[in-house]
Amino acid sequence: MKLFDVYSLFDVTPVKALGTRVWDDKGTEYLDLYGGHAVISVGHCHPEYVRAVTDQLGKIGFYSNSVHNPLQEELAEKIGELSGLQDYSLFLCNSGAEANENALKLASFHTGKKRVIAFRGAFHGRTSGAVAVTDNPRIRAPFNTGHEVTFVGMNDILTVKEELSKGDVAGVIIEGIQGVGGIIIPDDGFMRDLSAATKEAGVPLILDEVQSGFGRSGKFFAHQWAGIKPDLITMAKGMAGGFPIGGVLISPEFEPVKGMLGTTFGGNHLAMAAAIAVADIIKEENLVSNALEVGEYLKARLLALTDGAPDGETTATLGTLRGGTASEASGGAERSEAVEPPETPSVKEIRGRGLMLGVEFNGPVAEIRKRLLFEKHVFTGVSGKNMIRLLAPLVLSKDDVDIFIKALEEVL
């Protein structure tokens, strides 16, 4: 039997990891600035994490949700303390997509409606409801197209209010920071307006913090930069150091009914041991503060890369590509031949908060990422064709940043 071939793979086979470092089967050491899609929040193989999961495995690894599991209650208390949302309740599941499915279901139960408002550029998962509210028709099968979803432009509060006024909206879902969509941060003012508009309309606001949550943005949840309290908050990636897990934080406005949600594996003993260890490490090592401090340092070092060109050169190149095609920027097709694209893309813009950063270039980054991996031994991610996406473990140090910047400078 062969694997179902749906992934584009780099020819690297990791076999060992510790902190921000990964080693492959040939003994090559890599600096990890991607954390396996923002999953590795407290660093690879943290000794407290390893101990907690190992100890739990020697006790009991799994039983269903038909019995008491005090570890679930312990995790809920710790997440409540870390997030400041002690009055919310927690539903546990196994992934970010599953968390979003359950949040959408809760919103629909609550309102009795079925249409959902989502945002252009959104990514919420690949399961039926989650992919329906994902703004990518290429990964949406005909089976997934029966959901009623309206996509609205980011920060367009007038259109949101217009859609809410129709009276048929079950919920509004938005990412704290769009990850796949290009590290797009909703304006704080827009988030406050969105929160007020949904409350006025009696429509639940769902904050997808699957990638941007658990300290990654420099606050526990990215939406907390705007000072709002959504009705439902979904999370997953950074929760358990790589152990499959997801969760929904549910405001007191929602009344639980037996059987309305359920899962076989969600909240299992091993997942709880892993997630409790991660929560404890985040608190004890002040990793949310570290994400903010080191993230700002990384952003500053990246911004400095835009200053390396001769006076006017970088500005002209960046201005051309911000404004549209080279032809459009130069005043028409007759002048297009005078504008040559650079041989190596240069940095156009840095976006993000904390350790969720995007480095947008004025051209494709595939070769840059490939050279960073195979020549400089640094893991990075991408978002679209022109952006390198950085989602490093929250234990990243300034020395690690310096190593990465040196490698990127040499590649460029």
Q: In the predicted model, is pLDDT for residue 328 greater than 50? A: no
DSSP label of 47: H
Instruction: Assign a CATH topology to domain 286-306+344-389+401-412.
Output: Aspartate Aminotransferase, domain 1 (3.90.1150)
Q: Say how many CA atoms lie within 13 Å of 207 toward its Cβ.
A: 28
Instruction: Assign a CATH topology to domain 47-284.
Output: Aspartate Aminotransferase; domain 2 (3.40.640)
Q: What is the mean pLDDT of the chain?
A: 92
**Tokens at residue 12, please?**
């690297």
Q: In the predicted model, is pLDDT for residue 249 greater than 90? A: yes
CA–CA gap between residue 360 and residue 363 (Å, rounded):
8
Phi–psi pair at 76, nearest 5 degrees: -60, -45
Confidence class for position 340, pLDDT limits 50, 70, 90:
low
For the chain, the structural domain boundaries read: 47-284, 286-306+344-389+401-412
Counting every residue, how long is the chain?
412
**What pLDDT digit, counting tens, does each position of 116-147 carry?**
999 999 999 999 999 999 999 999 999 999 99
Question: What does the longest C-alpha to C-alpha distance in the chain come to?
Answer: 74
Q: In the predicted model, is pLDDT for residue 318 greater than 70? A: no
What separation in angstroms does the CA of 2 have from each of 5, 6, 10, 367? 8, 12, 18, 29
Q: pTM value? A: 0.91
**What pLDDT digit, counting tens, does each position of 79-115 carry?**
999 999 999 999 999 999 999 999 999 999 999 999 9
In degrees to the nearest 10, what's the CA dihedral of 161, 162, 167, 168?
A: -100
